[in-house]
């Protein structure tokens, strides 16, 4: 499965394509329809189901790829993780230099 993102400027819509790899004569395309539901407290909340074994992981990975193209899903470590790594490396460097001085 591959996921692609496109923005339709004319109609002002985000478009996401999820489809099997190119080259297959009869490919499967997945559509996801986002609907708003008015639900009162007595009703169960509506869910989207993907059954295990039906390519759910491939569909979700393709969706993540499309979201990365939109800029909504980070494809790199978060800034906080990078900052923590930087401080850790600085601490390790200080310890290393201290040991060299001994």
pLDDT digits (tens, 9 = 90+) for 27-86: 788 877 778 888 888 988 888 777 776 677 888 888 888 888 887 766 665 566 667 777
Answer yes or no: are the C-beta atoms of 61 and 3 closer than 8 Å.
Answer: yes
Supply the pTM of this predicted model.
Answer: 0.52
| Whether residues 57 and 40 fall in one domain | yes
| Whether residues 60 and 88 fall in one domain | no
Most confident of 6-10, 20-24, 89-93: 6-10
| Whether residues 96 and 46 fall in one domain | no
| Whether residues 67 and 85 fall in one domain | no
| Whether residues 92 and 45 fall in one domain | no
Range of the domain at 86: 77-102
| Whether residues 10 and 42 fall in one domain | yes
| Whether residues 91 and 61 fall in one domain | no
Q: In what order do the strands lie in the sheet with 29-30?
A: 2-8, 13-19, 29-30
CA separation for the pair 24, 40 (Å, rounded): 45
Question: Which are the contacts of 45, defined by CB distance < 8 A and separation ≥ 6?
Answer: 39
| Whether residues 67 and 82 fall in one domain | no
Question: Which are the contacts of 18, defined by CB distance < 8 A and separation ≥ 6?
Answer: 1, 2, 3, 29, 30, 31, 32, 59, 62, 63, 66
Answer yes or no: are the C-beta atoms of 28 and 19 closer than 8 Å.
Answer: yes
| Whether residues 85 and 101 fall in one domain | yes
| Whether residues 92 and 59 fall in one domain | no
Give the chain's domain count: 2
| Whether residues 47 and 86 fall in one domain | no
């Amino acid at each position: 499965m591959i996921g692609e993102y496109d923005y339709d400027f004319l109609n002002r819509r985000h478009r996401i394509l999820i489809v099997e790899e190119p080259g297959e004569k009869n490919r499967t395309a997945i559509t996801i329809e986002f609907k708003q539901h008015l639900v009162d407290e007595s009703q169960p909340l509506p869910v989207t189901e993907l059954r295990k074994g039906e390519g759910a992981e491939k569909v979700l990975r393709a969706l993540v790829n499309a979201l990365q193209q939109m800029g909504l899903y980070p494809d790199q470590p978060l800034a906080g993780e990078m900052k923590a790594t930087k401080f850790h490396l600085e601490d390790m460097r200080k310890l290393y230099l201290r040991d060299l001085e001994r």
